[in-house]
């Protein structure tokens, strides 16, 4: 167990801007699955995501000289808003490089907190490379979105809250995985004090870099990734996060777009909150795991990690949610381009 990381989590500075989010009992999901299910509501942070915790803790550690020069980050959207809000709070100039596919709601979120949004690259990895180049050119401090121990420690404060809020033994905790910072922090703390709790990481099947790294027992780079769960669309997990996750994460699994959309609907029905796809990965994986393993009468927590969803995506989510619940089937046919094709 990484004792130094435990100490970093215990001393992490997050509550200047973050709050202890509720752990809500999911009445409908619990009844449907015959388990006691709780939702950790990180979507209720000021930036609608857990990312604020790690961003602020990392920025707080900077020297006055580094703060005066300014910082830069690369982000798929939620870390960006965390950095921007942290910068506004501390009076630090912030620049954030974001992929060109970043939802407008996340770009506007950065700007609303005083950050300068720079759209560059077709995916996170290209935005990341551009941010590093700008950091060197302008002598800025680069704030990594996940592969930084201070960032991981900030996210780990969620684990501290969970054990305070749920004093009874926790059987399972499901956590979304993008770069791996969230699950590394939570799992490190939980396993330290509750080693029997199983930590299950969930990725979208089209961006499963941690799952593949576990399978191949090395840090892999995916050739291509899908962007439906844009907040967790990363080609390669971090060196630190993979090393930590190998020690404290029990299992990795993936979910489909339809399963993710169904989970968004499930959380909405229990809370009247609309999660973004990445924010609903944990709940989607939880449902799938319960069904596949016939889990019953267990104490289960799912981390609702973000709610920065664009309004224009809701129709697509609603349509795919029915498929995810197996209530509808999608039938595709090819119609020849010749007269009479539509005739019975």
> What backbone torsions phi and psi does residue 117 show, to the nearest 5 degrees?
-90, 130
Question: What is the structure's pLDDT at 101?
Answer: 86
Question: What is the structure's pLDDT at 123?
Answer: 86
**Any domain includes 331:** no
Whether residues 174 and 232 share a domain: the answer is: yes
Q: Report the distance separating Cα 179 and Cα 124, nearest Å.
A: 10
- Structural domain ending residue among the three candidates 117, 143, 169: 143
Whether residues 193 and 314 share a domain: the answer is: yes
Whether residues 184 and 253 share a domain: the answer is: yes
Contacts (Cβ under 8 Å, ≥6 apart) of 130: 74, 97, 118, 120, 121
pLDDT, averaged in runs of 10, over the chain (344 residues): 91 98 98 98 97 98 97 90 96 95 88 94 90 96 97 99 98 98 98 98 98 97 92 94 98 97 97 97 99 98 95 89 64 62 58
Question: What is the structure's pLDDT at 147?
Answer: 97
Instruction: Name the residues annotated as catalytic.
Output: 51, 305
Sheet of 116-119, strand order:
116-119, 94-98, 71-74, 141-143
**Any domain includes 300:** yes
Q: 84, 185, 79: which is closest to 124 by C-alpha?
A: 79
Whether residues 67 and 159 share a domain: the answer is: no
**Any domain includes 66:** yes
**Any domain includes 282:** yes
Whether residues 58 and 44 share a domain: the answer is: no
Q: Report the distance separating Cα 218 and Cα 202, nearest Å.
A: 18
Total number of domains in the chain: 2
Give me the CATH number covering residue 164: 3.40.50.1100
Give the 3-state secondary structure of residue 182.
helix
Give the 3-state secondary structure of residue 25.
strand
Whether residues 74 and 119 share a domain: the answer is: yes
How confident is the model over 223-267, as pLDDT tens digits?
A: 999 989 988 999 999 999 999 999 999 999 999 999 999 999 999
Q: 95, 22, 84, 97: which is closest to 56 by C-alpha?
A: 84
**Any domain includes 330:** no
Q: Are 244 and 188 in contact (CB under 8 A)?
A: yes
Structural domain span for residue 20: 3-49+149-324
Q: Report the distance separating Cα 271 and Cα 273, nearest Å.
A: 5
- Structural domain ending residue among the three candidates 143, 165, 195: 143
Alpha helix (H) residue ranges in the chain: 3-10, 27-33, 51-60, 64-69, 78-90, 104-112, 124-138, 149-165, 181-193, 209-216, 239-248, 257-271, 277-293, 314-324
Whether residues 106 and 241 share a domain: the answer is: no
Q: Which two tokens stand for residue 337?
A: 């381009």
- Structural domain ending residue among the three candidates 143, 174, 191: 143
Q: 250, 247, 257, 320: which is closest to 289 by C-alpha?
A: 250
């Amino acid at each position: 167990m990484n004792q130094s990381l435990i100490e970093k989590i215990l001393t992490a500075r997050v509550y200047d801007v973050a709050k202890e989010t509720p752990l809500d009992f999911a009445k409908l999901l619990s009844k449907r699955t015959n388990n006691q299910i709780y939702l950790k509501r990180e979507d209720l942070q000021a930036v609608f995501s857990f990312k604020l915790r790690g961003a602020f803790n990392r920025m707080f550690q900077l020297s006055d000289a580094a703060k005066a020069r300014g910082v830069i980050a690369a982000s798929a959207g939620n870390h960006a808003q965390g950095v921007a809000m942290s910068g506004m709070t501390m009076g630090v100039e912030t620049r954030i490089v974001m992929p060109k596919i970043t939802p407008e709601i996340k770009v506007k979120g950065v700007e609303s907190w005083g950050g300068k949004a720079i759209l560059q690259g077709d995916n996170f990895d290209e935005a990341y490379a551009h941010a590093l180049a700008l950091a060197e050119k302008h002598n800025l401090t680069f704030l990594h979105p996940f592969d930084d121990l201070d960032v991981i420690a900030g996210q780990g404060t969620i684990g501290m809250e969970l054990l305070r809020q749920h004093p009874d033994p926790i059987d399972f905790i499901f956590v979304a995985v993008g770069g791996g910072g969230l699950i590394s922090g939570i799992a490190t703390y939980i396993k330290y004090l509750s080693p029997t709790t199983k930590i299950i990481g969930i990725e979208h099947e089209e961006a499963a870099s941690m799952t593949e790294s576990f399978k191949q027992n090395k840090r892999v780079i995916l050739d291509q990734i899908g962007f439906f769960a844009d907040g967790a669309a990363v080609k390669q997990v971090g060196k630190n996060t993979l090393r930590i996750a190998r020690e404290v994460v029990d299992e990795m699994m993936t979910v489909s777009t339809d399963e993710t959309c169904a989970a968004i609907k499930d959380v909405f029905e229990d809370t009247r909150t609309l999660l973004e796809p990445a924010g609903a990965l944990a709940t989607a994986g939880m449902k799938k795991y319960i069904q596949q393993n016939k889990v019953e009468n267990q104490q289960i927590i799912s981390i609702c990690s973000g709610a920065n969803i664009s309004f224009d995506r809701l129709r697509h989510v609603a349509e795919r949610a029915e498929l995810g619940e197996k209530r509808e089937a999608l039938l595709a046919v090819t119609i020849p381009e010749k007269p009479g094709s539509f005739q019975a």
